[in-house]
Amino acid sequence: MDRAQATAAAARDLVVERPQGLYCPPGDFYIDPWQPVERAVITHAHADHARRGHARYLASAEGEGVLRARMGADIELQALHWGEVVEHRGVCISLHPAGHVLGSAQVRLEHTGQVWVVSGDYWLSGHEAEANPTCTPFEPVRCDCFITESTFGLPIYRWQPQAALFAEINAWWADNAAAGRASVLMGYAFGKAQRLLAGVDAAIGPIVVHGAVEPLNAAYRAAGVALPPTHRVTELPKEALRRALVLAPPSVAGSPWLRRFGEASDAFASGWMALRGARRRRGVDRGFVLSDHADWPGLQRAIAATGAPRVIVTHGYEAVMVRWLQEQGCQAGAFRTEYGDEAIEAEASGMEEGTADGRDPGEAAR
Ligand SMILES: [Zn+2]
Ligand SMILES: [Zn+2]
């Protein structure tokens, strides 16, 4: 391609970088912008992708409840069903499941014969038959250009089958319950906590959830996701707490909230637990490798399934992914974004729910 051709091609790009976020020039709207804008298409309600202050929001109908719970009930929101098409300034926009958290969407844009897809965050693994049971599974969408996340875009990240992982979690809980110790399992309040709930064996004992987790459980249940019965800590007698699984956000670590459980075993569930030393740095007894993001084989499967000759890589290990894609004969590049789930998400679930110090907001009202 000579310079004039390259400029002409770039002028037709359906998504470009702007200081406010990823921007669609013909449609004059943004996707998951990090600064306030007039029109924002939101892939999902995690704090680094869905920010307050936009004039108009477009998001999936599946995620409407959870988005309103986090952004405010009064946001100006147009909700789309999966695959439903709206046209805006000649750009056809539709949303397709990403399998990451409740309501998580990929954004498909079609304009003058070109199709681009922005993935947001997505989950699938190298194990073909597996899906995240707490939301609609990832659906590959054919496109000319795929903008992919790469949070775990290194060959070292390979998730084990979910059944094997949950067998480990259940065995840890059952051992603790038999010894009269509570099992405190920390994970992010939105997405991870519900994944854990849906996967554990509720016959082992009662399940207690921290007040930061409960409103999100309610949104999931309202959307039709089956979760086992859960209790607030104040609802159970002390003896029952000694057999309980306690689901709480990471902000409770070292907080007074945990003291009521007495002697307890603690654990952390995150994709980062795959890294050597991560469990020790968290100072917990156990680390369980559970992620809401695609692992390395999952990213490769997802990208291949789009058939896209061009791929643009965002947040994560961009350089490694770009080099790998170029080796596969793909036209690959990267966008700089301000996404980066876990830190911002952790901070947000602390701030939004008033639990930065581990306090339980549900209890303050009692
Ligand atoms: Zn996310
Ligand atoms: Zn993300």
> Which ligand does the CA of 151 lie closest to?
2
Give the pLDDT of residue 357: 43
Predicted confidence band of residue 279 (pLDDT cuts 50, 70, 90): confident
Predicted confidence band of residue 276 (pLDDT cuts 50, 70, 90): confident
> Which ligand does the CA of 44 lie closest to?
1
d(CA 6, CA 244): 61
What is the 339 CA–ligand 1 centroid distance (Å)? 9
d(CA 29, CA 34): 13
* Domain boundaries, given as residue ranges, for the chain: 3-157+292-335, 162-290+354-364
Beta bridge partners of 332: 311
State both tokens at 47. 């704090």
Helix ranges, 272-358 (H) = 278-282, 296-306, 318-327, 341-353
What is the 122 CA–ligand 2 centroid distance (Å)? 8
What is the 204 CA–ligand 1 centroid distance (Å)? 30
The predicted model gives 238-255 an average pLDDT of 93
Tell how strand 264-269 and strand 21-24 pair up. Answer: unpaired
What is the 149 CA–ligand 2 centroid distance (Å)? 7
Q: What is the pLDDT of residues 71-97, one digit of tens each?
A: 999 999 999 999 999 999 999 999 999
What is the 337 CA–ligand 2 centroid distance (Å)? 10
What is the 174 CA–ligand 1 centroid distance (Å)? 31
Of residues 5 and 113, the one with the higher pLDDT is: 113
Closest listed residue to residue 14, CA positions, set 41, 36, 47: 41
Q: For the domain 3-157+292-335, what is the CATH code?
A: 3.60.15.10
What is the 3 CA–ligand 1 centroid distance (Å)? 37
What is the 313 CA–ligand 2 centroid distance (Å)? 12
d(CA 175, CA 308): 48
d(CA 43, CA 98): 9
State both tokens at 71. 């952004």
Q: Is the pTM of this model over 0.85?
A: yes
> Which ligand does the CA of 340 lie closest to?
2
What is the 299 CA–ligand 2 centroid distance (Å)? 14
Query: Could you check whether 3-157+292-335 and 162-290+354-364 share the same CATH topology?
Result: no
Residues with Cβ within 8 Å of 324's Cβ and at least 6 positions away in sequence, in order, are: none
What is the 195 CA–ligand 1 centroid distance (Å)? 13
The predicted model gives 303-318 an average pLDDT of 95
Phi/psi at 220 (5° precision)? -65, -45
What is the 44 CA–ligand 1 centroid distance (Å)? 7
Predicted confidence band of residue 356 (pLDDT cuts 50, 70, 90): very low
24 within 8 A of 30, measured Cβ to Cβ:
yes
Q: For the domain 162-290+354-364, what is the CATH code?
A: 3.40.50
Q: What is the pLDDT of residues 197-211, one digit of tens each?
A: 999 999 999 999 999
What is the 121 CA–ligand 1 centroid distance (Å)? 5
The predicted model gives 338-345 an average pLDDT of 64
Q: What is the pLDDT of residues 135-190, one digit of tens each?
A: 999 999 999 999 999 999 999 999 999 999 999 999 999 999 999 999 999 999 99
What is the 36 CA–ligand 2 centroid distance (Å)? 18
> Which ligand does the CA of 316 lie closest to?
2
What is the 314 CA–ligand 2 centroid distance (Å)? 9
CB-based burial label for 226 (10 Å; 0-12, 13-18, 19+): exposed
- pLDDT over 70 for what percent of the chain? 90
Which residues lie at CB < 5 A from ion ligand 2?
121, 339, 341
